[in-house]
Amino acid sequence: MESESTLLFHPTIAINQRFKSFADSGIIIDIKREDLLHPQMSGNKLRKLKYNLKEAQDHGTKTILTYGGAFSNHIAATAAACNILGLKSIGVIRGEELGVDLEKTLNQNKTLRTAHNYGMKLVFVTREKYKLKDTAASLREYHRQFGKFYNIPEGGTNELAIKGTQEILTDFDLENYDVICVAAGTGGTAAGIINSAGLDQKIIVFSALKGDFLKDEIQKYTTRTDFTLVSEDYFGGYARSSNELINYMNNSFRESGIPLEPIYTGKMMYGLEQMVEVGAFNSKTRILAVHTGGLQGIAGYNKRLIKKGLPYLQYEDDI
Ligand SMILES: *Cc1c(COP(=O)(O)O)cnc(C)c1O
């Protein structure tokens, strides 16, 4: 038991890799390859699961229940982690239509197929019901239905998750970079980065969603207020993309060899490069951008792009 959890709970320290250097200004961008932490569990989702799964195990809870959409990196990571640790997992998935013909859904959706193959029980619910998932009534209903379980919120963010994301930055990162960049959905990863970064480091959070509501979410988990939040104003909102983004990502993969995904890290790097181009940073600024993983979602994303006849990400086979 102990040795099994050691496998999961001691991720190797990710490497930092040069993404780009700008010859005229001397600015460099390195990427922290958290996507390489574990072959089955995408970077920041493993960080967020670490202390939650430990907590469940310490209390002898054998089942984990959590929530996500049909392409959720968190669902994929939870299913894999529970499989490795010998825990049962239940995934409450948004979209009851996906459960009508499970075999068809699993055939068409790599994320859900992988989760299913790891032994996760998939429970498909309507969007209305999904919206109520954090209410006491909803929790009670799932407890009646499934018995005892450890509940992890959508996206995996809670206090214990922040404890995990605070372990992303190393002493080396605190000493060698002026700016730290991270992409955000719920903001749990960003909060951990903010808590652990040096006071002299500038932190830029690239939201995957429009608007600035995320500021309050992040502020729930940190007392620091000196971070910059960049709203997703380039591409029209969460999971929206454009040919420009996809072409940018294909080019940057050719140049750097580092695969990005289109919802978080691709947009972050695009936005960051735009900032460099308009002179947002002094010369010789050393920037570290955190690669939060999520590459498992590319197959599903590409499927939709190809269906629409749009340019798609051409490095899927190389990662
Ligand atoms: C989930 C996810 C994020 C967002 O993390 P939060 O902690 O929810 O802000 C960023 N990048 C990738 C690749 C993710 O899968």
- Which pLDDT tens digit goes with each residue over 91-131? 999 999 999 999 999 999 999 999 999 999 999 999 999 99
- Under the banding of pLDDT at 50, 70 and 90, the label for residue 14 is low
Q: Which of 221, 226, 268 is nearest to 249 (CA)?
A: 268
pLDDT mean over 287-300: 94
Ligand 1 environment, Cβ below 6 A: 42, 44-45, 73, 155, 157, 183-190, 261, 264-265, 292-294
Phi, psi of 234 (to 5 degrees): -85, -40
Which two structure tokens, joined as six digits, stand for 180? 């730290």
How large is the C-alpha radius of gyration of the chain? 19
- Give the domain range for residue 139: 44-156
Phi, psi of 202 (to 5 degrees): -90, 135
Using the predicted structure, report yes or no on whether residue 1 has a pLDDT greater than 50: no
Domain boundary among 98, 128, 156: 156
Domain boundary among 116, 136, 156: 156
Beta strands 150-151 and 63-68, pairing class: parallel
Domain boundary among 156, 176, 195: 156
Whether residue 229 sits in one domain with residue 183:
yes
Range of lowest pLDDT (39-48, 214-223, 300-309): 39-48
Return the pLDDT at 318. 67
Return the pLDDT at 3. 43
Ligand 1, atom nearest to 186 Cα = 8
Whether residue 123 sits in one domain with residue 15:
no
Whether residue 308 sits in one domain with residue 177:
yes
Of 50, 73, 209, the one to substitute when testing ligand 1's pocket (max ligand atoms within 8 A of C-beta) is 73
pLDDT by residue (tens digit) across 173-199? 999 999 999 999 999 999 999 999 999
Give the distance (Å) from ligand 1 centre to CA of residue 161.
Answer: 12
Whether residue 307 sits in one domain with residue 252:
yes
> In sequence order, what are the beta bridge partners of 182?
205
Mean pLDDT of the chain: 93
Q: Give me the CATH number covering residue 15.
A: 3.40.50.1100
- Under the banding of pLDDT at 50, 70 and 90, the label for residue 12 is low
Which two structure tokens, joined as six digits, stand for 291? 């690669």
Whether residue 83 sits in one domain with residue 194:
no
pLDDT by residue (tens digit) across 152-172? 999 999 999 999 999 999 999
Whether residue 301 sits in one domain with residue 285:
yes
Of 34, 44, 195, the one to substitute when testing ligand 1's pocket (max ligand atoms within 8 A of C-beta) is 44
Give the distance (Å) from ligand 1 centre to CA of residue 232.
Answer: 14
Give the distance (Å) from ligand 1 centre to CA of residue 144.
Answer: 31
Whether residue 200 sits in one domain with residue 103:
no
- A 10 A CB-CB count for 260 gives 30
pLDDT mean over 57-67: 96
Return the pLDDT at 67. 98
Give the distance (Å) from ligand 1 centre to CA of residue 204.
Answer: 14
Which two structure tokens, joined as six digits, stand for 27? 């600015």
Whether residue 187 sits in one domain with residue 112:
no
- The single-letter code of the amino acid at 165 is T
pLDDT above 90 coverage of the chain, percent: 86
How many domains, in total, are found in the chain?
2
Whether residue 80 sits in one domain with residue 96:
yes
pLDDT by residue (tens digit) across 246-274? 999 999 999 999 999 999 999 999 999 99
Q: Is the pTM of this model over 0.85?
A: yes
Range of lowest pLDDT (58-67, 278-287, 296-305): 296-305
Give the distance (Å) from ligand 1 centre to CA of residue 25.
Answer: 30
Whether residue 130 sits in one domain with residue 63:
yes
- Under the banding of pLDDT at 50, 70 and 90, the label for residue 2 is very low
Return the pLDDT at 13. 60
Give the distance (Å) from ligand 1 centre to CA of residue 156.
Answer: 9
Ligand 1, atom nearest to 261 Cα = 13
Whether residue 48 sits in one domain with residue 131:
yes
pLDDT mean over 216-224: 96
Whether residue 28 sits in one domain with residue 14:
yes
Using the predicted structure, report yes or no on whether residue 5 has a pLDDT greater than 90: no
Using the predicted structure, report yes or no on whether residue 4 has a pLDDT greater than 80: no
Return the pLDDT at 43. 87
* SS3 per residue for the chain: CHHHHHHHHCCCCCCEEEEEEECCCCEEEEEEEHHHCCCCCCHHHHHHHHHHHHHHHHCCCCEEEEEECCCCHHHHHHHHHHHHHCCEEEEEEECHHHHCCHHHHHHHCHHHHHHHHCCCEEEEECHHHHHCCCCHHHHHHHHHHHCCCEECCHHHCCHHHHHHHCCCCCHHHHHHCCEEEEEECCCHHHHHHHHHCCCCCEEEEEECCCCCCHHHHHHCCCCCCCEEEECCCCCCCCCCCCHHHHHHHHHHHHHHCCCCCCCCHHHHHHHHHHHHHCCCCCCCCEEEEEECCCHHHHHHHHHHHHHCCCCCCCCHHHC
Q: Which of 54, 51, 52, 55 is nearest to 66 (CA)?
A: 52
